[in-house]
Amino acid sequence: MDDKREIAKTLYKTMGLTDAALNDPDIAHLVINGNMVVGAHLVPGLVVEPHETPNGVTVTMKVLAGSIIQKPVHLCFGMLPEDGLQEIIMDVTIEEHAKVSILAHCTFPNAKNITHKMQANIVIKEGAYYSYVERHVHAPGGLITVVPHAIVTVEKNATFKTDFELLRGKAGIIDINYETTCYEGSLLEMNAKVNGIDNDDITIRETGHLKGQGAVGVLTTRIAVRDNAKATVYNTLTAHAAFARGHVDCKEIIQDNGVAKAIPIVEVYHPKAHVTHEAAIGSVDDKQLQTLMARGLDEDEAVDLIIQGLLS
């Protein structure tokens, strides 16, 4: 048990965090290293059942109807070894009028050749709230492949918010694919922010189907690529009911030999629905750059600050 505790603490440390959350009885957590559960703590209203598999874990998570989980639940998926495969299969149900926020740390600080896959099936029941913030820390070099895929159902008047953010390290190969179906009065917000360098290859597919009357969806993507990195963003919003409203917002900054593509798709199947999109790809905004340089920052410092802002 002590070894597992130390591994959990090490994983947290790689994220730049102390183990305070692991000691807080009011903060639920689940810490996975590879295919091993190295820490788990639950709070009332939250049911989590992890099962170790040869290459990862399956996790069934449920927030019971009407339960409000006060503090964000910490999930930590990591691999301390240099090589390997981690497959996470998640089955998540947020029951009626329950509320939970997840802070997911995915840390692969020593990666030389690691693949991290997640396949999630998420159901957010009527009136429930589910926020999933996924923060990654990768090794500065090596090859890491991150493949988070999810199928999400957002039922009547429910809310689903997700953020994907690479805090540190080399993106590697990232292939995000979230497909969400939203019913009456529901709210969807999906955000992804990634910085690509070297030969990173980033693909983001975010899809929202606004099926119910008054459903609202916003897809926001911020990407910066430099060196020989590539990024392709497919943002799709479809609106099928009256007063469904959506917006797609994709901004990509490229430098050096970076390549960025944005493919926003908006489809509207009801005359009272409304979906908009904006996509901007290009180098750093010249006016922003010159403004900061007029304050004495050299070009590299100015670009770094602008990108830091874009990805913050």
Residues that bind another protein (CB under 8 A): 222, 251, 285-288, 290-299, 302, 305-306, 308-312
| Short-list 11, 147, 167, 149, CA closest to 79 | 11
| Short-list 105, 113, 173, CA closest to 137 | 105
Residue with tokens 């692969």: 108
| Short-list 165, 229, 166, CA closest to 202 | 229
CB 16, min distance to another protein, A: 19
Q: Rank residues 17 and 311 by Cβ distance to another protein and give the closer one.
A: 311
The pair of structure tokens assigned to 298 is 């050299």
Q: Rank residues 23 and 290 by Cβ distance to another protein and give the closer one.
A: 290
Q: Rank residues 271 and 312 by Cβ distance to another protein and give the closer one.
A: 312
CB 104, min distance to another protein, A: 22
CB 310, min distance to another protein, A: 5
| Short-list 177, 150, 188, CA closest to 275 | 188
Q: How far apart are CA 204 and CA 232, in angstroms?
A: 6
CB 186, min distance to another protein, A: 26
What is the spatial order of strands in the sheet that 56-63 belongs to?
Answer: 46-53, 56-63, 83-94, 113-124, 143-154, 173-182, 201-210, 230-239, 259-268
Give the type of residue at 256: D
Q: How far apart are CA 108 and CA 5, in angstroms?
A: 18
Q: How far apart are CA 180 and CA 121, in angstroms?
A: 10
Q: Rank residues 52 and 298 by Cβ distance to another protein and give the closer one.
A: 298
Q: Rank residues 18 and 283 by Cβ distance to another protein and give the closer one.
A: 283
CB 222, min distance to another protein, A: 8
CB 280, min distance to another protein, A: 11
Q: Rank residues 117 and 277 by Cβ distance to another protein and give the closer one.
A: 277
Distance set, CA 257 to CA 168, 225, 282 (Å): 21, 9, 12
CB 287, min distance to another protein, A: 4
Q: Rank residues 266 and 297 by Cβ distance to another protein and give the closer one.
A: 297
Q: How far apart are CA 41 and CA 201, in angstroms?
A: 36
